[in-house]
Amino acid sequence: MSAEDAVPESPAARKRRARRILKQLDLDYPDAECALRHSSAWELLAATILSAQCTDVRVNKVTPDLFAAYPTVADVAEAPLEHLEDLVRTTGFFRNKAKSLKGSAHRIVTQYGGRVPSRMDQLVTLPGVARKTANVVTGTWFGKSTGVVVDTHVQRVSRRLALTEEKAPKQIERNLMDLLPRTRWVRYAHQIIHHGRQVCNARRPRCDQCGLTALCPSVHKAP
């Protein structure tokens, strides 16, 4: 049977396959968690802002000096912008990121009593914080399933697994929210991010080392 003649997967069949994928992810990545090192909601928020178009490894090298120089959100709000820029320079787009850090810190201090808000609608009002960043904070720190974090790994692997055909992160998130149990939204993202880094990488997916091959329509296909 050719690809053109293949019977499209029904929504019910896709949900059944998704459940099997989740079970395998639990076997392969039982302890998956956020790779950004943090010890507070503010540190996680700051690290996530810095992670835009930057690796978590690089962010984790930058944040210790940042948090040592300015330990609290109030300290960052009062920090000289030029020094913040120097501290985060190697994460790329450092001027915008430093401005977002300082602006978010100032708003948290002046509008939220110095505490990072836990609600999505409040988080997205902070400079430099869009839905993806807010989902990281609400899910990882506050334990709230407000959505699915869609970074480059989640986007790529979810499409390869045919859990979505969409390309835009917002539409991918909506598809995943409809497909996956709400209790799995946060964990799915952590597990898929680990899988995308370790096995299903962008250029040469290691299908021969993947526990999801029996469930993946893209197995052994070119990226």
Give residue 6's pLDDT band: very low, low, confident or very high (50, 70, 90).
low
Q: Is residue 138 part of a domain?
A: no
Supply the pLDDT for residue 222: 53
**pLDDT above 70 coverage of the chain, percent:** 96
Average pLDDT over residues 22-39: 97
Q: Is residue 96 part of a domain?
A: yes
Rounded to whole angstroms, how far apart are CA atoms 114 and 91? 25
Q: What is the pLDDT of residues 132-181, one digit of tens each?
A: 999 999 999 999 999 999 999 999 999 999 999 999 999 999 999 999 99
Q: Is residue 128 part of a domain?
A: no
Same-domain status, 45 and 110: yes
Torsion of the alpha carbons at 178, 51, 126 and 179, rounded to the nearest 10: 0
Q: Domains in the chain: how many in total? A: 2
Q: Is residue 151 annotated as part of the catalytic site, yes or no? A: yes
Supply the pLDDT for residue 8: 85
Rounded to whole angstroms, how far apart are CA atoms 204 and 202? 6
Q: Is residue 66 part of a domain?
A: yes
**pLDDT above 90 coverage of the chain, percent:** 94
Q: What is the pLDDT of residues 190-214, one digit of tens each?
A: 999 999 999 999 999 999 999 999 9
Same-domain status, 45 and 104: yes
Please, what sign has the CA dihedral across residues 122, 76, 152, 208?
negative
Quick check: 221 pLDDT over 90? Answer: no
Q: Is residue 198 part of a domain?
A: yes
In the structure, how many helices (H) and strands (E) does the chain have? 11, 0
Question: What does the DSSP assignment read for 109-165?
Answer: HHHSTTS---SHHHHTTSTT--HHHHHHIIIIIS---------HHHHHHHHHTTS--
The amino acid at residue 27 is: L
Q: Out of 86, 99, 151, 170, which one is annotated catalytic?
A: 151
Rounded to whole angstroms, how far apart are CA atoms 88 and 94? 6
Q: Is residue 75 annotated as part of the catalytic site, yes or no? A: no
Supply the pLDDT for residue 223: 61
Rounded to whole angstroms, how far apart are CA atoms 156 and 170? 14
Q: Out of 121, 132, 167, 208, which one is annotated catalytic?
A: 132
Give residue 127's pLDDT band: very low, low, confident or very high (50, 70, 90).
very high
Range of the domain at 167: 11-32+147-215
Rounded to whole angstroms, how far apart are CA atoms 135 and 119? 10
Of 115, 137, 160, the domain-final residue? 115
Same-domain status, 28 and 50: no
CATH number at 208 reads 1.10.1670.10
Supply the pLDDT for residue 193: 96
Rounded to whole angstroms, how far apart are CA atoms 144 and 183? 9
Q: Is residue 153 part of a domain?
A: yes
CATH number at 96 reads 1.10.340.30
Same-domain status, 20 and 60: no
Supply the pLDDT for residue 2: 37
> In the predicted model, what is the mean pLDDT of the chain?
95
Average pLDDT over residues 53-65: 97
Helix ranges (H only) for 53-130 are 56-69, 73-78, 81-88, 94-111, 120-123
| CA distance between the termini of the chain | 22
Q: Is residue 73 part of a domain?
A: yes
**Of 64, 27, 44, nearest in space to 194 by CA:** 27
